[in-house]
Amino acid sequence: HETATRRRRVLLKLSGEVFGGGKLGVDPGTVRGIAEQIASTVGEVETAIVVGGGNFFRGAELAESGMDRSRADYMGMLGTVMNCLALQDFLEQAGVETRVQSAISMAQVAEAYIPRRAIRHLEKDRVVIFGAGAGLPYFSTDTVAAQRALEVHADEVLMAKSGVDGVYTADPHKDPTAKKLDTLTYNDALRQNIRVMDQTAMTMCKDNKLDMLVFGMEGEGNVARALRGERIGTTVTV
Ligand code: UDP
């Protein structure tokens, strides 16, 4: 299957914020909208998804209020699984076959993370949703997105952001002269300490020559456009 005629395969990273619609928990209308956009591209694009959990818990924040960091991180990972199940439900309502694979075993709700099986699902037009991060404290779901993309041989990582539509020369919320960049190298992003992306994820993509698109969720149909390969947002390359 690793031939020139192979379909486009992508790893879409959805942060927890896009599930919450700005609140704690899951906003069903928002998740349904995302699911319908993904559904519109099935058959054209093979899509694996890593979901974040920031709409429930972030380990680093809980640790600041006195919790043990590792336990707090496990809470964060469990939050991502709730997002996975919400997305799975709306994808299936939109007629898409899906599988959730969790890095923490919970056989009643998700398959185990088995990369070769994930690839088979993708080839059969199933959307694969990866939950529970890496199953390891001290990691972020952005880093997991880079790792899963590499392991399932995705052509590109698509980082969906909310509140920003790409990488800017400065923080666009603070600096009115900030300009959006169409392209950027990993070296420049790392050197300039670009905050919109996780440094570990960028280093992993750079070392393995994997392109990344950083794009905003807000524009109409943006998720489907990014899945199909439209150059919305900022492309980060080696
Ligand atoms: N997390 C973790 N290991 C992982 C992935 C996630 O410990 O491999 C925890 C971590 O506490 C993190 C939380 O899960 O804060 C939610 O993930 P993240 O903050 O990456 O979600 P996002 O910002 O994308 O919503």
Rounded to whole angstroms, the Cα distance separating 173 from 160 reads 18
Q: How confident is the model at residue 3 (pLDDT cuts 50, 70, 90)?
A: low
CA of 214 to the centre of ligand 1 (A): 18
Could you report the per-residue pLDDT of 102-159, keeping only the tens digit for each?
999 999 999 999 999 999 999 999 999 999 999 999 999 999 999 999 999 999 999 9
Confidence of residue 193 (pLDDT cuts 50, 70, 90): confident
**228 C-alpha vs ligand 1 centroid, how far in Å?**
27
Side chain identity at residue 42, one-letter code:
V
For ligand 1, residues with CB inside 6 Å are: 15-17, 52-54, 58-60, 73, 76-77, 80, 133-134, 136-137, 139-142, 144
Write out the two tokens for 9: 């395969």
Taking the CA atoms of residue 142, residue 217, residue 186 and residue 102 in that order, the dihedral angle to the nearest 10 degrees is: 20
The residue to mutate among 68, 141, 148, 157, having the most atoms of ligand 1 within 8 angstroms of its beta carbon, is 141
Q: Which atom of ligand 1 is nearest to the CA of 61?
A: 15
pLDDT recorded at residue 227: 98
DSSP, collapsed to helix, strand or coil, labels residue 44 as: coil
Domains recognised in the chain with CATH numbers: 8-237 (3.40.1160.10)
How many C-beta atoms lie closer than 10 Å to residue 166's C-beta?
A: 21
Query: How far is residue 211 from each of residues 95, 118, 221, measured CA to CA in Å?
Result: 30, 21, 21
**Which of left, alpha, beta for 141 (phi over 0: left; psi -120 to 50: alpha)?**
alpha
Q: What is the Cα–Cα distance from 30 to 183, expressed in whole angstroms?
A: 29
Neighbour order of strands in the sheet with 127-131: 111-112, 98-102, 127-131, 45-51, 8-14, 156-161, 211-216, 234-237, 183-185
Q: Are 125 and 8 in contact (CB under 8 A)?
A: no
The residue whose CA has the least distance to atom 12 of ligand 1 is: 58
Question: Looking at residue 6, what is its pLDDT?
Answer: 85
Q: Which residue, 103, 213, 171, 153, is CA-closest to 2?
A: 153
Q: Are 116 and 89 in contact (CB under 8 A)?
A: no
Residue list for the binding site for UMP: 53, 73, 134-141
Cβ–Cβ under 8 Å, residues 86 and 38: no
How much of the chain is helix, strand and coil, in % rounded to 5?
40, 20, 40
Tell me if ipTM is over 0.85.
yes
For residue 97, report the distance from its CA to the centre of ligand 1, in Å: 26
201 in Cβ contact with 211 (< 8 Å): no
